[in-house]
Structure 1
């Protein structure tokens, strides 16, 4: 695929992802119409746990599959086998883990608020569907089928949004959860259909399965634990406050601001998802890789700064025109500042993966974790809901310093 076609492909992929994610975030904002401000806080804590579950049940296999299937000389039969092996491992390992997670939720281990535990119990099954969906999307991505991915995601989101309006209107939070399952099941079906011509029916070879497992165990393991630590650290303060007696109304406002700012992650995740296979392709030629990486990182940081300024300016103007609680404006600033600082190292993580330095992400998170746990406990205990925002900002600053050091060290070694 030539440069012009790739740029057009990227533009279409970015636009569709903004639209798809936009539907998801509009759904969360509209949820405020159907439930109380306090319940928004319960949903936010529950879905932070869901993000951790998504990573845990994914087993790091998406990163492994993307890396191994992005190699130019690999044939289509082997790509198909790798997908089927990854799905098999996911089902065998993740289903028992899912039952443990549901048991813990039903036993009240995640929060002192019973409603939070109930929501987690009901929504946990989404993680298994997400894990399989992610593998199918990675398979499509290895063929540069970004248009197909976008079309499938858009269709499932639209169906899910219609289901959300109907179900949430009638059953509130429970209806919201039902609509998520409907969207994920539709997405799973469409992804299988989208992959039907690039999944080849062959007899499962135990030898090939063992070879895939052993070859990718290191990549998937380090990817799993680094992402697990990273996401847990990202939401650690939210998990901590779930065990505290906190002002549920103020936390609801914080959760509304968080939902708004989480939309910014569209920029980060879309860029990471698109460029990882490209970095892997270029990793054998360090001059070419360096030029490519520095170019996209510079553009990404410039765009992030512009988005940060626009969002906060827009929020301030809205507060003058329409009555918006000052807490929401303040939380938007603190949370978007965290996101802006994270943009200075967001591409370094996938850069290390593309250079085969998967362990480095894990060691970075491992180093950050003990300092962050202690500081989060202190900040949440001292400032309650505000402490959650301060804690997220501290985590990003620590991550920025550590990733800059590790990236520079590994990059120099690679050269």
Structure 2
């Protein structure tokens, strides 16, 4: 538990610092620039997801059940090098496909794809090796340096400074996190048996994650397509950047407990008891935090000094996002339970079901309420997803009984 607390507290500090840096960066950018950055970042996130090939999920499963040390090193090297080659290739084609005359300077962010993709896997390296304290300290240092330099660059050079510093710091972050594992990933040898095992998991994980990213940002894609020149899109983008801290908090908890549950998956009765106890605690914590932050932002919204802030309108969006986050807490941790059992296809089924629901509901709410419809749709989608995840969880666990 002490390892989790150190990991959790350091992440809270990082999120708090990043929260402050987002506000400071926004002071030096226009709402339209914020909207342009966010639109490109959502596309980059999709490209990163494609580059990872679902191998992060396969790695976590295979590494957690592996007993031999040489097998563990081989799994690390295999997943790292495949993601390396895939991310470089996909980045190259993404840049070729990007029309710089229409996407403009924001296309620079595509250069972060290989480094972000590999850093995502490296974080799992720390977790499966139980190096939570070292990971916390490394992430803390990286985020402090990155946030500080991005703020300074944006202050002096505006949006260009933000974009270039983001690329440079993604390289720095990747190298800093990789250092303890350089020996593990040096010798790459293609293992057909390992590849078969990994791809049996990763094919569903990739499809599921791609659908998840598309589903997550569908409403923003629709809004940005319909209201490209709207300042409201910039206010929404700012709120989404702040709200990202809440989503990362959920994923941090998921990432911590996923390998723990995976190790228990051989005995379904023990796994079920432990997960049920854990799930109740996490749901209660989720609800308490949701209520706390909703009233915190409501109080902040009423302060006269805040009303002069350039992105004051973002607070309303943020409050609605937090309502959706509170609702999602009822089902979010069932997804990692499904993954821990190796039943990745059920997360894929969940995303397949959700995609048309998200597209139709997002279009309906945005058509009716303009940009505000993005946050209203988010609440509706969170409610629906709770029932669908519950059903997929039931199917995944039923097989083992």
- TM more than 0.5: yes
1:248-267 → structure 2 map (5 Å cutoff): 248-267=230-249
Structure 1 residues 98, 382: closer, same or farther in 2, change over 3 A? Answer: same
* 1:314-325 aligned within 5 A: 314-324=296-306
Name the residue aligned to 1:394.
380
Q: CA RMSD, aligned part only? A: 2.0
Aligned partner of 2:107 among 121, 129, 138: 121
Distance 1:403 1:120, change over 3 A: farther
Partner of 1:289: 271
Q: Distance in 1 between matches of 2:371 and 2:165?
A: 30
Report the equivalent of 1:151: 137
Q: Say if 2:63 is the partner of 1:77.
A: no
Q: Structure 1 residue 366: deviation in Å?
A: 0.7
Post-superposition offset of 1:196: 4.2
1:379 aligns with 2:365: yes
Is contact 2:59-2:75 (8 Å) kept? yes
Query: Which one of the candidate residues 151, 154, 157 is aligned to 1:165?
Result: 151
Measure the CA separation in 2 of the matches of 1:413 and 1:131: 33
Which runs of 5 or more structure 2 residues have no equivalent in the other structure?
none
Contact 1:251 1:385 in 2 (8 A): yes
Q: Following TM superposition, by how much is the alpha carbon of 1:10 offset from its aligned partner in structure 2, in angstroms?
A: 0.3
**Shift in Å, 1:249:** 1.7
SS of the counterpart of 2:225?
A: coil
Cα deviation 1:197-217 (Å, max 9, x = unaligned):
6x2765x444xx222211110
Question: Is residue 87–residue 132 contact of structure 1 (8 Å, CA) maintained in 2?
Answer: yes
Q: Is the 8 A contact 1:41 1:252 kept in 2?
A: yes
Q: Deviations over 1:221-279 (max 9, x none)?
A: 11111111111111101111222135622222222322232221232011001000000
- C-alpha separation in 1, matches of 2:233 and 2:44: 19
Q: Choose which of 231, 247, 251 in structure 2 pairs with 1:269.
A: 251
Tell me, yes or no, if the aligned pair for 1:156 and 1:184 is still in contact at 8 Å. no
- How much does 1:336 deviate? 0.8
For residues 380 and 101 of structure 1, do their structure 2 counterparts lie closer, same or farther at Cα, with a shift above 3 Å needed? farther
Relative distance call for 1:409 and 1:217 in structure 2 (3 A) is same
Aligned with residue 232 of structure 1, among 206, 214, 217 = 214
Q: In structure 2, which of residues 153, 158, 161 is the aligned counterpart of residue 175 of structure 1?
A: 161
| Cα distance change, pair 90–297 in 1 and its aligned pair in 2 (3 A) | same
Checking the alignment, whether the CA contact within 8 Å between 1:46 and 1:119 is kept in structure 2 is no
Q: Report the Cα offset of residue 412 of structure 1.
A: 2.6
Q: Distance in 2 between matches of 1:80 and 1:322?
A: 57
Which residues in structure 2 correspond to 1:42-191 (within 5 Å)? 42-71=36-65, 73-106=66-99, 114=102, 117-191=103-177
Distance 1:380 1:257 in 2: 17
Q: CA deviation at 1:151?
A: 1.6
Residue 283 to residue 264, structure 1, CA distance change in 2 (3 Å): same
Distance 1:400 1:264 in 2: 18
Q: Size of the alignment, in residue pairs?
A: 397
Go from structure 1 to structure 2 and tell me whether the alpha carbon gap of 1:250 and 1:174 turns closer, same or farther (over 3 Å shift). same
Deviations 1:276-312 (A, max 9, x none): 0000001111222112111221111111111111112
TM-score normalised to structure 1 length: 0.90
| Equivalent residue runs for 1:193-204 within 5 Å | 193-196=179-182, 199=184, 202=187, 204=188
SS of 1:273's partner is helix
Distance 1:154 1:218, change over 3 A: same
Instruction: Return closer, same or farther for 1:366/1:307 CA change in 2, 3 Å cut-off.
Output: same
Aligned to 2:98, what secondary structure does the other structure show? helix
Q: Give me the whole-angstrom Cα distance separating, in 2, the residues matched to 1:50 and 1:123.
A: 7
Contact 1:364 1:403 in 2 (8 A): yes
The question of 1:29 aligning with 2:29 is answered no
